[in-house]
Homo-oligomer: A and B are copies of this chain.
Amino acid sequence: MALVGPGPRLTAPASPAKVPRVDLDALVRPILDLLRRADQRDVRITDLAGPEAHADAFAAIGAPLSLGPGDAPLDLTTLTRAIEAVIARSVRTLHPRFFNQNFAGADPVAVVGDFLGAALNTTMATYEAAPVFTLIEREVLARLAALAGWPAHEGVFVPGGSVSNLYALQLARLRVDPEARERGHDGVPLVAFASTHAHYSFEKSVVLLGLGRRALIKVACDERGRMRPDALAAAIDAALARGQRPFFVGATAGTTVLGGFDPLPALADLAERHRLWLHVDGSFGASALFSSGQAQLMAGVARADSLAWNLHKMLGVTQQCAAFLVRGTGALRAAFATGASYLFQPDKPHAELDSGDATFQCARRVDALKAWLVWKFRGEAGFAARIDHAVGLADHCAARIAGDPRFYLAAPPSWVNVCFWWIPPDLRPFAGRTPEVDATLHALAPRLKAAMLRRGEAMLGFQPVDGGPNCFRLLFINPATTIADVDATLELVDACGREALASGD
């Protein structure tokens, strides 16, 4: 039997690979400094540089962004400078005036949890390789399921809410067509429903699953971005009349732009009547369940078949920490199990705790760890306070906007989202939208935002809503954000609006 592999092999016995030692203290110091200065306000949120400027800056410190075969390894000092440059040139999502995304204000305990998970560097696939993490994941999932009011559940952490929505659709498809696992989709016109304000991952999912984009029927919303039950009922009836086969309703709890919560009880009624899988995409909003004041937004979730819940959005757990939960048991393994013999040996101790066959992924990061650490340190009262604080800021902001002719709410505020327009002086008091007004507001948004990015003092997003012009969106998530931050940000928007007008051609 030949002992050598197909390539040339070393003949001399291998000695330990010579690798430079690392001065960990030097490398982590700038990271700890960043975390300690998390709520510092007199620092730019973003430096607005283009690709060339970033590249030049890294080259100037001896750490060019590019990689090549002849590159000399950096010494530790230069590596530390590179870390400092990464920090200085990245968007400061910890800043109390970062309102740009559906996450903000990372909890330092979560950041440490990511560090801990990386240092222990394992995979969630088996209890053998991840005993403590397997147990922690089960505890976190169990408590989330209890908050949803489910007597029995299964679940898994996944890399983002999009994957949760994908899994939900796959489980639903296999419930109505279990043969699809072996046979594949056979062209039966299965159709799923989600609202016009639902996340775009529903669309991506039906494409990936081989159902096709036309399998997703978008249902109209009310002015808060909530799916209208009457529109869903009509859409189901219309699909049935066309000979299609409805199988899935993707409700949203906390839409991305307007923060709308679909009316789950009414959707659950329809889902039951038509035997549809009811999935709740609570990636953004399910954390309302921690707040006694906000939990009613989630009323009806106990009747859902599955739930997406991202702890990395409202709760300050770092990217990514996304739970996918299924009511009842068995569907996940029925969908995903392959029983790979190299990994899931039934003759191992505690093999029944292996999670690998309950998910699509093989190796998985230990995302539940950081959530567990934050949860233990803040407690559920801490989570509730974080939610209530954020909602309170949104209320304050909406009230300010409603009483100020320089702004106008683009939609009724909901959850932690406030969408509004800055009204140019010659349109005050705002007399309503016309095609000309829409064109003005739409074109102003990117210029106003550009002015804001130049200043670097706050960051918020804009997008069109329901066919209307671009509006700005403030998302309140960071517990370090204050009333004064909200007020200052509105003044900043006004200043940037005037600047954008003045610079307009």
Q: Which of A445-486 contact B (CB under 8 A)?
A: 445-446, 449-450, 461-464, 470, 473, 479-483
User: What are the residues of chain B within 8 A of A483 when measuring CB–CB?
Assistant: 13-15
Contact B362 A160 (CB under 8 A): yes
User: What are the residues of chain B within 8 A of A306 when measuring CB–CB?
Assistant: none
Cβ of A499 within 8 Å of any chain B Cβ, yes or no, is no
Cβ of A94 within 8 Å of any chain B Cβ, yes or no, is yes
User: What are the residues of chain B within 8 A of A348 when measuring CB–CB?
Assistant: 446, 449
Stretch in contact with the other chain, from A230-238, A323-331, A370-378 = A370-378
Stretch in contact with the other chain, from A71-79, A269-277, A421-429, A433-441 = A71-79
User: In whole angstroms, what is the CA distance A7 to B181 when docked?
Assistant: 42
Contact A10 B391 (CB under 8 A): yes
| Subset of 12 A-B contacts with CB under 8 Å | A1-B409, A15-B482, A19-B385, A24-B36, A74-B376, A101-B123, A162-B361, A163-B360, A185-B210, A186-B187, A200-B340, A320-B363
User: What are the residues of chain B within 8 A of A79 when measuring CB–CB?
Assistant: 109, 373, 376-377
Chain copies in the assembly? 2
| Closest beta carbon of chain B to A218's beta carbon, Å | 12
- Given A65-B135, A402-B3, A412-B1: A27 in contact with B112 (beta carbons within 8 A): yes
User: What are the residues of chain B within 8 A of A9 when measuring CB–CB?
Assistant: 293, 391-392, 395
Contact B87 A116 (CB under 8 A): yes
Instruction: Tell which of B109, B142, B393, B449 touches A27, judged by Cβ atoms closer than 8 Å.
Output: B109
| Closest beta carbon of chain B to A102's beta carbon, Å | 8
User: In whole angstroms, what is the CA distance A94 to B119 when docked?
Assistant: 8
Beta-carbon nearest neighbor of A85 in chain B: B132
User: In whole angstroms, what is the CA distance A450 to B350 when docked?
Assistant: 12
Contact B318 A121 (CB under 8 A): yes
Contact A17 B479 (CB under 8 A): yes
| Closest beta carbon of chain B to A263's beta carbon, Å | 9
User: What are the residues of chain B within 8 A of A2 when measuring CB–CB?
Assistant: 412
Contact A116 B3 (CB under 8 A): no
Contact A6 B414 (CB under 8 A): yes
| Closest beta carbon of chain B to A349's beta carbon, Å | 7
Cβ of A265 within 8 Å of any chain B Cβ, yes or no, is no
Cβ of A388 within 8 Å of any chain B Cβ, yes or no, is yes
| Closest beta carbon of chain B to A2's beta carbon, Å | 6
User: What are the residues of chain B within 8 A of A297 when measuring CB–CB?
Assistant: 5-7
- Given A121-B93, A414-B5: A65 in contact with B336 (beta carbons within 8 A): no
User: In whole angstroms, what is the CA distance A376 to B378 when docked?
Assistant: 38
Contact B376 A63 (CB under 8 A): yes
User: What are the residues of chain B within 8 A of A49 when measuring CB–CB?
Assistant: 131
Cβ of A43 within 8 Å of any chain B Cβ, yes or no, is no
Contact B24 A133 (CB under 8 A): no
Beta-carbon nearest neighbor of A346 in chain B: B446
Cβ of A66 within 8 Å of any chain B Cβ, yes or no, is yes
User: In whole angstroms, what is the CA distance A375 to B11 when docked?
Assistant: 27
Instruction: Tell which of B132, B213, B372, B479 touches A90, judged by Cβ atoms closer than 8 Å.
Output: B132
User: What are the residues of chain B within 8 A of A370 when measuring CB–CB?
Assistant: 118
Question: Nearest 10 A-B pairs (CB), nearest first?
Answer: A210-B210, A184-B212, A14-B392, A114-B118, A17-B479, A185-B210, A73-B379, A159-B159, A17-B389, A342-B463
User: What are the residues of chain B within 8 A of A67 when measuring CB–CB?
Assistant: 139-140, 142-143, 372, 375-376
Beta-carbon nearest neighbor of A443 in chain B: B347
Contact B212 A90 (CB under 8 A): no
Cβ of A504 within 8 Å of any chain B Cβ, yes or no, is no
Hey, what's the 0/1 contact readout for A172-209 against B, CB within 8 Å counting as 1?
Answer: 01000000111111110000000000011101101111
User: What are the residues of chain B within 8 A of A66 when measuring CB–CB?
Assistant: 139, 142-143
